[in-house]
Copies of this chain bind each other. A is one copy, B any other.
Amino acid sequence: MARFIKDRSKSKGLAPGSLVFIGRQKMNKPELFVMDYNQNSLEEKQIHSLTEIEDYIHKDGVTWLNINGIHDLELIRELGDMFNITSLLLESVLNTDQRPKFESFDNHDAFILKMIHYDETIKQVVAEQFSLILGKRYVITLQERQGDVFKGVRERIRNKKGRVRLSDNDYLMYALLDAIADNYAIAIETVGRKIDELDGRIFKYNEKGLTEEIYTLKTELNYLRKSVRPVKDVVNSYLKAESPFFMEKNIVYLKDLNDSITHSAESIELYNNLVSDQLNIYNTNMSNSLNQVMKVLTIFASIFIPLTFLAGIYGMNFEYIPELKYKYAYLIFWILVLVIGIGLIIYFRRKKWL
């Protein structure tokens, strides 16, 4: 659960807009990668300094600068200066505890979102900060570390598949956000599959670790909800913002994105309901099983405790116990045992315990 909490002590008392990286550094050195394309040509290059990008920016065509690693404050500050980004926005870019949001500025639109994937090694949903800045002819994306979420988009740019090479940077932005929304759906689906696997187990007796797993899934869903639900507001407010950087003819794509996020948010609630139902049913089954156990105990004890008492009586050493001398006493004793035993069995049958 520790991932719910980010250490904010570094930023305490600082001026708003002070650049502090809040989070855990996940790479050594930031990587900068540029793709610059138009319908006819494509240039892609790993760059080492922001100054290298200037040429691309001033050319026609779409420039996509992707930065992996956001802990290098100097780089971020330089980026801010170059693209006129307010320090308040840069602060949010650096704060991995930032709630997903959209903000519109004079010279660019900015999105701060989460990327989500299910990490099979630690069996947890992992969220990473993702920022996107959409300006005139350029898109800047910032991730916490190298991932493969945008591989598909890059392939499409290289192979001229789909509309991305034919379109402007607003379509690129949509393609990137769509890739992220796809990843949400896949992470939620993974959690959904795990919930699905529990389905048979909640009816089995004495499943080891079931409550741990249910608890983990509930926590994952809480974590997903925290990351995904605010994105609905983000896309909605972008739809309403009528940004000059996003062409009206592409609005249909945003609506599609909106649908996708809404579907994800609804799935989280659906899965949450399903796990809660599973926990409730599991609890009911536990009570059922306790009832069964207690009935076995009660039947055994209730039948044999009186019989043991009876045997105890004729094990007493009183000098004068007339029955002891009677020849058929032992036979009668056994008959009595059978009568009491069968009587109690009939009694428990009536109570439907047997």
Contacts and interface: CB of A to CB of B under 8 A. Distances in A.
Contacts of A99: 259, 262-263, 266
Given A262-B99, A274-B222, A311-B313, A12 B302 contact: no
Interface of A is mostly: helix
Interface of A: 1-2, 4-6, 8-9, 11-18, 86, 88, 92, 97-99, 101, 103, 151-153, 155-156, 161-164, 174-175, 178-179, 182, 185-186, 189, 192-193, 195-196, 199, 202-203, 205-206, 211-212, 214-215, 218-219, 222, 225-226, 230, 252-253, 255-256, 259, 262-263, 266, 270-271, 273-274, 277-291, 293-298, 300-302, 304-309, 311-325, 327-330, 333, 351-353
Most chain B CB atoms below 10 A, which of A278, A301, A323 = A301
A286 B292 CA distance: 11
Contact of A16 (B178, B215, B316): B178
B330 A318 contact: yes
Contacts of A13: 151-153, 155, 179, 182
B306 A226 contact: no
A278 B199 CA distance: 20
Most chain B CB atoms below 10 A, which of A9, A97, A215, A314 = A215
24 contacts: A2-B196, A4-B196, A4-B271, A5-B193, A8-B185, A12-B186, A13-B152, A14-B152, A16-B175, A16-B178, A205-B351, A279-B281, A286-B287, A289-B291, A294-B294, A296-B351, A298-B300, A301-B301, A304-B306, A311-B313, A312-B315, A313-B333, A314-B316, A320-B329
B274 A219 contact: yes
A55 to B, nearest CB: 28
Contacts of A103: 252, 255
A288 B291 contact: no
A225 B324 CA distance: 73
